[in-house]
Structure 1
Amino acid sequence: MDASEDPQYSASDYPEITKSLVIAATTSSNVSWVSSAIKSTNWKPYIYITDSADAQLTVPINRGNEAMVYLTYIIQNYVDSLPDIMFFHHHHENAWHQLLTASHEITYLKDQFVMDSGYVSPRCLGSCENVIELSGNYIPLSDLEDAIPRETQIGSFLMEFLGWIPEKIASPCCAQFAVSREAVYRRSLDEWKSIRKWLEETKLSSSSSGRVLEHTWHILFGMESIHCPVQNVCLCGGFGMDCT
């Protein structure tokens, strides 16, 4: 039985909880699935168009892939309008890296699970992913470029913004996740602004700079450097699947 067949799974655990669905899109993206996915839920959509300065919601500069959208939303809403839960998502409903459709993720994400966890990836795997050994090497962020090894790029970023470099990092891939307001508030507004300023100015390509954030979002939101949730806990507790 899946969640859609079981009446115990409702669209929202607590209707009074405020929730934002933040989507990174372009002018060519098909986001028609969003309106039906959020119907009868209390998700409020924020669809950022990264390649149009005329869009109602856009970004200062189209760099860093989805990271610029996520950071821009946080900065714009940090002071007095962050909801209880935010789901940061790509524009697509289906992708190779999604175990569930985006519609399922949005409909059956368990509010209390996010509130308790702080950070939840919908990529519920049975093992660790994106395991990267960090050498401890770091250089000034202004010297980073694509030719620099990925572990040094990540180490330099973490040293600059967190002040330390773990020996190893791991987390589910692909930069889609739900977070609680409290997780966002683990970093000050100035910290989030500094990260976006780096993203705007770095010599790294959008692909490389976005990947640095992809590998470190979980740490920025307060998770351990090695973050490998138990699959059944993630699927059943987080996304309403029947694992009995």
Structure 2
Amino acid sequence: MNLVFHPIKKFKDYILFIGFHRLILCFITLLFLFSTFGLSQFQSPQFITSTYKYINKTLNSILQRNQISQLAKIIVVSHFNENLDWLDLLVDDQISCIVYTRSSKPLPYQHKFVINKGREAVVYLQYIVDHYSNLPLSIAFVHAHRTSWHQKNPSDIVIALQALQWNKYNYMPLTSEKTRYEFKPISVDPQVKVNYELWQAVLQKELGPPPENGINAHCCATFVVKREAILAHPKIFYSNIMNYILASSYSDQLTGRTLEYTWHMIFGQPAHINYRTCDIFICDSNGMVSVPLDRKKKLNN
């Protein structure tokens, strides 16, 4: 009987990422076999052995198909020509990384080349489209620079990722810097007009009308989002946004920024959001962002 309990134990270990619907499928399969062959056949050594092989093969197949979705978290980097040495500081944190680059220079990380249009918006959308069926539990979408004017409290993206309370919320901005913008068909500001047109063309079907009072949210397209928030929309939704940006006659600065202003709404947040720093990051008793001690050593080396 050990042959029976071994795969059951193995099955138990993988329930969390196999999914409840697959668990039901395996149960129905076993029930069908039991009703078809009867109790005596079910207890035979030959049946036990064949059942063990079938379950083991099924589990291994599921594991291979879901190799990426097993990951708890991943960092998706939009790269042009920035220094990526800071990624080495995250190697021991068990955070996988993928770099989408526009650079022709070889990189020491897994990467893909994408058309040089749409800035980070197209990179993020490309990743979602590429991995829609096997997304990790949480994805951090970031720029390739370690520090910038908009990376505030914390001012270092490495500290932000190491102090982050991963998986706490469906959507979590990685900076406290704020931005606001409007969506109107007529405006002296071309960005306002582009915001409106892009929303009407590819966002409205899923999100409804554009926000009447504009948006007030965290700045500049560095955030973490859970898989379930991405899967709230069909894959074609993300493909349509990407295709619209790539085909647009407007500049990258305009179309790319529209996505900066709308990512939080795409992932289920209201138009106006304001996360407190210590709701997102680990903080010390003084309310300052705090990296765990074991990680501080690496930052100081």
Q: Secondary structure at the match of 1:171?
A: strand
Q: Could you tell me which residue of structure 1 aligns to residue 260 of structure 2?
A: 214
How many residues of Structure 1 are paired with residues of Structure 2 in the alignment?
A: 207
What TM-score do the two structures reach when normalised by structure 1?
0.78
Q: Secondary structure at the match of 1:78?
A: helix
Q: Is the 8 A contact 1:87 1:176 kept in 2?
A: yes
Cα distance in 2 between the residues matched to 1:59 and 1:212: 23
Query: Are 1:187 and 2:233 matched, yes or no?
Result: yes
Show the 5 A alignment for 1:1-244: 18-26=72-80, 28-36=81-89, 38-52=90-104, 57-79=111-133, 81-99=134-152, 100=154, 101-113=156-168, 117-124=169-176, 129-135=178-184, 137=185, 149-163=190-204, 164-167=209-212, 168-229=214-275, 231=276, 235-242=277-284, 243-244=286-287
Q: Could you tell me which residue of structure 2 aligns to residue 141 of structure 1?
A: none
Q: Is the 8 A contact 1:161 1:195 kept in 2?
A: yes
Q: Is the 8 A contact 2:101 2:114 kept in 1?
A: no
Q: Which amino acid aligns with 2:190?
A: P
Q: Is the 8 A contact 2:167 2:226 kept in 1?
A: no
Going from structure 1 to structure 2, the CA distance change for 1:67 and 1:133 (only over 3 Å counts) comes to closer
Q: Answer 1 or 2: which has greater helix percent.
A: 2
Q: Could you tell me which residue of structure 1 aligns to residue 296 of structure 2?
A: none
Cα distance in 2 between the residues matched to 1:54 and 1:35: 16
Q: Secondary structure at the match of 2:98?
A: strand
Cα distance in 1 between the residues matched to 2:105 and 2:245: 18
Going from structure 1 to structure 2, the CA distance change for 1:53 and 1:159 (only over 3 Å counts) comes to farther
Cα distance in 2 between the residues matched to 1:59 and 1:219: 28
The runs of at least 4 consecutive aligned structure 1 residues that moved more than 6 Å come to none
Going from structure 1 to structure 2, the CA distance change for 1:17 and 1:215 (only over 3 Å counts) comes to same
Q: Which amino acid aligns with 2:161?
A: I
Q: Quote the offset at 1:18 in angstroms.
A: 1.2
Q: Secondary structure at the match of 2:162?
A: helix
Q: Quote the offset at 1:59 in angstroms.
A: 4.1
Q: Which ranges of structure 1 fall in alignment gaps of 5 or more residues?
A: 1-15, 139-146
Q: Secondary structure at the match of 1:21?
A: strand
Cα distance in 2 between the residues matched to 1:205 and 1:54: 28
Give RMSD over aligned pairs: 2.2
What TM-score do the two structures reach when normalised by structure 2?
0.64
Q: Secondary structure at the match of 1:207?
A: helix
Cα distance in 1 between the residues matched to 2:269 and 2:248: 25
Q: Which ranges of structure 2 fall in alignment gaps of 5 or more residues?
A: 1-69, 288-301
Going from structure 1 to structure 2, the CA distance change for 1:195 and 1:54 (only over 3 Å counts) comes to farther
Q: Quote the offset at 1:67 in angstroms.
A: 1.0
Going from structure 1 to structure 2, the CA distance change for 1:63 and 1:179 (only over 3 Å counts) comes to same
Identical aligned pairs, as a percentage? 27
Q: Is the 8 A contact 2:203 2:241 kept in 1?
A: no
Q: Is the 8 A contact 1:52 1:58 kept in 2?
A: no
Q: Quote the offset at 1:217 in angstroms.
A: 0.9
Q: Is the 8 A contact 1:51 1:62 kept in 2?
A: no
Q: Quote the offset at 1:237 in angstroms.
A: 2.5
